[in-house]
Amino acid sequence: MSSKIKPLKYHEKLNFSPSLENTNSLSLKKEYQLFINGRFQKPLSNKYFASINPANENKIAMVAQANEKDVDLAVNAARNSYESHWSKIPPKERAKYIYRIARIIQEKAKELAILETLDGGKPIRESRDIDIPLAAAHFFYYAGWADKLDYAFPNRNPKPLGVVGQIIPWNFPLMMAAWKIAPALATGNTVVLKPAESTSLTALKLAEIVQEAGLPDGVVNIITGPGSTGEMIVNHLDIDKIAFTGSTEVGKTIMRSISTTSKKSTMELGGKAANIIFEDAPLDQAVEGVINGIYFNQGHVCCAGSRLFVQESVYELILRKLKDRMQSLVVGDPLDKNTDIGAVNSKQQLSTINNYIDIGKKEGADIFQLSCDLPAKGYWCPPTLFTNVSQSHRIAKEEIFGPVLAVQTFRTTEEVITKANNTPFGLSAGVWTDKGSKVFNLTSKLRAGVIWANTYNKFDPTSPFGGYKESGHGREGGLHGLSPYLNIE
């Protein structure tokens, strides 16, 4: 490319007028209670905390904070319903309830999508087209397995574990609840679930759906609160298994806490995925994959493709294409149908991201950010990329969990495999090449639980998801997602 040629411009013609999602279908309470034993109950703690809309810092509702006694009530309810009912009914009865939940999620999809966007800051396009449909799909999928466990594990007499404690993150609130609850119920367990403090509302809507679906009391209990409430679930003596999705740091703490118990565990933790572009790749689609890989959900994705490796021969070309593509990203009101990048989930997360951006600058990497107007209130970070990055830079080593991409180059296949695996994480990776043999070579050598070839961030309930190394253990989704909830001979 000649240096005289002017970069293309994207902002002068045909700009979008506001196109806000209509929020009439949303009904909200002022105060949300704990969902224990099939009923909404005031917390024994008598404490509530505010749920904030990160796009404008307004309070959406007050949410109950569970203390030790509340956790005890929830676990007891789950234990009673497990012993007296849920473990005894025919598996196809369990399936019937799970199917009902799936169908009601579909019926209320619009309301759930709006609430997810209000509470978490993610673009309505994503909550409408990805989060909510995938949550429903997960329930549909696992409902189908409920009466087929003997076929999934022939001659191995699969039995439920009992009461499972599930702690989920704030990046995909309802979808993560579905990933946890659906397989647990299908395999005959009862559940105590705690959503993240900043995004409790769709989980509480799910509690209403559980009620509407007529699930027996106590099969699903949803309690809310900060990290300390989660700790109480982890340490409760009558819990048989902990399923956790969140940071590696908290995951390690949980593993230490349960190491002297017989509790089983599934951990889905952090990541620092390598997204690898070879010179023979379909380059324009690779660029699109990079955009989806890192800027999806403001980069709050454990499997985000946050490390980009580009073969040196196409480095300039990819960078030009990437910067051009970034020009069309719309940052702003998450309820606007054209928004690509919504609000960062919380003030705390924004300061973490900004801290890493400062570190990147101080370490001497070159920053490129989309220049765009950001709303005055709320928490915002424009799509960002760093070039002149090496493996030793902290922005290439540590999980940022924001829309920040670290771009590196490589020369040979061996080199990129070494670099891609040179991380304590191992959740996901992406490979872009037109050559099938290269895909198979890399997928067998990359130490990552999920590897996408010529695409990125594709999810399906039939496909197992989970990590190697410090990205966790156990799998969610697919046939593999059943066994962590079963005792198998």
Partner 1 sequence: MQFTINNKVDKVGIEDRIVRITKRSLKSESKLAGLKMVLGMIDLTTLEGMDTVKKVQQLCYKATHIHNELPNLPNVAAVCVYPTMVKTASNALKDFDVKVASVATAFPSGSSSLKIKIQETKEAIFNGADEVDMVISRGKFHSGEYNYVFDEIATIKETCGSDVRLKVILETGELGDYDHIRFASEIAINAGADFIKTSTGKIKPTATLPITLVMLEAIKDHYYNTGKMIGMKPAGGISNSKLALQYLLLVKETLGDLWLDNHWFRFGASSLANDVLMQILKLKKGYYQSNNYFSKD
> What are the catalytic residues?
268, 302
Which pair of structure tokens corresponds to residue 145?
């397995």
Q: How many Cβ atoms from other residues are within 10 Å of residue 143's Cβ?
A: 23
CA-based torsion, 423, 428, 433, 436: positive or negative: positive
Least spacing, CB of residue 324 vs partner 1, in Å: 8
Nearest-CA neighbor of 380 among 388, 369, 390?
369
Q: Taking a C-beta distance cutoff of 8 angstroms, is the pair 258, 274 a contact?
A: no
Least spacing, CB of residue 291 vs partner 1, in Å: 9
What letter does residue 479 receive in the DSSP assignment? G
| C-beta closer to partner 1: residue 6 or 30 | 6
Place of tokens 């999602």: 21
Least spacing, CB of residue 391 vs partner 1, in Å: 28
Query: CA-to-CA distance for 112 and 127, rounded, in angstroms?
Result: 8
Least spacing, CB of residue 330 vs partner 1, in Å: 9
Query: CA-to-CA distance for 345 and 53, rounded, in angstroms?
Result: 8
| C-beta closer to partner 1: residue 18 or 214 | 18
Q: Which residues pair with 274 in a beta bridge?
A: 307, 429
| C-beta closer to partner 1: residue 150 or 284 | 284
What does the DSSP assignment read for 169-217? -SSSHHHHHHHHHHHHHHTT-EEEEE--TT--HHHHHHHHHHHHTTPPT
| C-beta closer to partner 1: residue 18 or 364 | 18
Query: CA-to-CA distance for 81 and 439, rounded, in angstroms?
Result: 48
Residues found near partner 1 in the complex (CB under 8 A): 1-2, 4-5, 8-19, 125, 129, 280-286, 288-289, 292, 320, 324, 327-328, 337-338, 434, 454-455
Least spacing, CB of residue 454 vs partner 1, in Å: 5
| C-beta closer to partner 1: residue 28 or 317 | 317
Place of tokens 């080199």: 415
Which residues lie closer than 8 Å to 230 by C-beta, 6 or more apart? Answer: 167, 194, 250
Which pair of structure tokens corresponds to residue 428?
């996901």
| C-beta closer to partner 1: residue 1 or 376 | 1
Least spacing, CB of residue 133 vs partner 1, in Å: 13
